[in-house]
Homo-oligomer: A and B are copies of this chain.
Amino acid sequence: MTVDGRLARGERTRTAVLDAAVSLASANGLDGLSLGHLADSLGVSKSGLFAHWRSKEALQLATIDRAVAQWQELIIGPALRAPRGVRRIHALHEARIAFYATRVLPGGCFFATTEFEFKGRPGAVRDRLVAAFADWTALLERLVREAVELGELPAEVDVALLAYEIDSSGIAAAMRSRLFDPETTYRHARRGVLDRLRALCPDPHLLPEGPS
């Protein structure tokens, strides 16, 4: 950013490149991302990319950061406008599934694809992905803990376990929606978490009966 708020010269270009990289990597992974294809899809030359990032790994790291920003903007941000407690947990899960359903990313979920890809490959890319995943898990656990503190979930609830189960449903949705019927998959992912929250929440009016 420059002082007057306009984007610096190459900033728009960089963002456009990273958006395309997130999209391609959501389908083929960060290692499966070909710089030649990426450049072609943008109508620029491959060597031009190296004016902005010194190596493929640097571009991969920037792509992860961009995906995190998108996730924050399109999923976490809107969900945090819901009231604290179980409704906020539900809103976050719904926003996630809805995002998958938009097909903005052809691969469904950038993080699921890339984290599976790099789970066994040590290095800076894996470290960055793990950090992003840890942040996401911490957010989920924080929302669950808040709901417990508000009395909207029983005090005996295993916070980390419930967060694991909610996230599991989303991970499976990212995968199964691209292999089987997407609508059925999304219905399972939404119904399962909603039923679980409703079963745990003493107040039956806080959450809708059916997936919204």
Which residue numbers of A lie inside 8 Å of B, CB to CB? 27-29, 31-32, 106-108, 112-113, 115-117, 119-121, 129-130, 133-134, 137, 158, 160-161, 164-165, 167-169, 171-172, 175-176, 178-180, 184-185, 188-189, 191-192, 199
Cα distance, A168 to B164, chains bound together (Å): 10
A107 to B189 Cα, complex, angstroms? 25
- Prevailing SS type, chain A contact patch: helix
Residue of B nearest to A109 (CB): B116
Assuming the contacts A188-B160, A192-B161, asked whether A29 and B117 have C-beta atoms less than 8 A apart, the reply is yes
Q: A118 — nearest CB in chain B belongs to which residue?
A: B179
Query: Which of A133, A176, A184 is the most central at the interface, judged by chain B CB atoms within 10 Å of its CB?
Result: A176
Taking a contact as CB atoms under 8 Å apart, the answer to whether A164 and B192 are in contact is yes
* CB <8 Å contact, A108 and B117: no
Contact partners of A108 in chain B: CB under 8 A? 119
What's the least CB distance linking A84 to chain B, in Å?
A: 24
A17 to chain B, nearest CB (A): 21
Given contacts A106-B120, A133-B179, A171-B172, contact A158 B191 (CB under 8 A): yes
A116 partner residues in chain B, CB cutoff 8 A: 112-113, 116-117, 175
